[in-house]
Amino acid sequence: MRVGIFGGTFDPIHFAHLVIAEQCREQAKLEQVWFIPAARPPHKAALTPFERRSEMLQLAIAGNPTFRVEEIENERAGPSYTADTLVELRRRHPDMDWHLILGSDCLPDLPSWYEPARIIAHAKLVVVGRPGWPVWHADQVRSALRLPAEAALSVQIVPIPLIEIASRDLRRRVSEGRTIRYFVPNAVGAYIVEKKLYV
């Protein structure tokens, strides 16, 4: 089974995330997309509790049988490194064909991630454009990671509508008492109000 892995803090999930996931599912011919909320991202702090972010994800994807929330990173101790997550996913599901969904804004930082060569070894890359960021092709990724010519590398570029929504901006909007309607699914917006998130 071809499965897309879409990681992030999702604090909160919004419509740009969902468009990315659906376009990657369709264009990369993925049978499922698994959303993996980060439990302890190494470069971010002061997150909304994992359970709240996971519940918002569940609300956002309800009704789509090809989407799934995978809480694997909350089951492990230590930082939520993508390399470790992919290794554990492959151990649990050895027959899956893994495809890591990344925004083009992530690629310049990929060399500084924890064990990026192990990421490349365990998943194919599906790259989507992000506003203001160029989309790297396979040769650029290979050069940035200093991969030898014989090292396996798969990069598929998926063109999508460039929707400029950022979770940090949504959190700020809520804290300022502004609307986030049409930025997030209605159920997620209601949940944010009910749980008094970001106020």
Q: Where are the domains of the chain?
A: 2-164
HSE-up of residue 124 (Cα within 13 Å, Cβ side): 17
What pLDDT is attached to residue 132? Answer: 85
pLDDT at 44 over 80: no
What pLDDT is attached to residue 102? Answer: 96
72 DSSP 8-state letter: G
pLDDT at 46 over 70: no
Contacts of 160 (CB under 8 A, 6+ apart): 19, 20, 23, 24, 128, 129
Contacts of 179 (CB under 8 A, 6+ apart): 173
Average pLDDT over residues 95-103: 97
Contact 99/30 with Cβ under 8 angstroms? yes
Q: Is 81 helix (H, G, I), strand (E, B) or coil?
A: coil
pLDDT at 113 over 90: yes
| pTM for the whole structure | 0.94
Lookup: tokens for 81 = 């490194």
pLDDT at 175 over 90: yes
The beta strand positions in 17-136, using DSSP E, are: 32-37, 67-69, 97-103, 124-128
User: Bridge partners of 158?
Assistant: 128
Question: How big is the chain by its Cα radius of gyration, in Å?
Answer: 17
Alpha-carbon gap, residue 45 to 71, rounded angstroms: 19
Per the CATH hierarchy, to which homologous superfamily does domain 2-164 belong? HUPs (3.40.50.620)
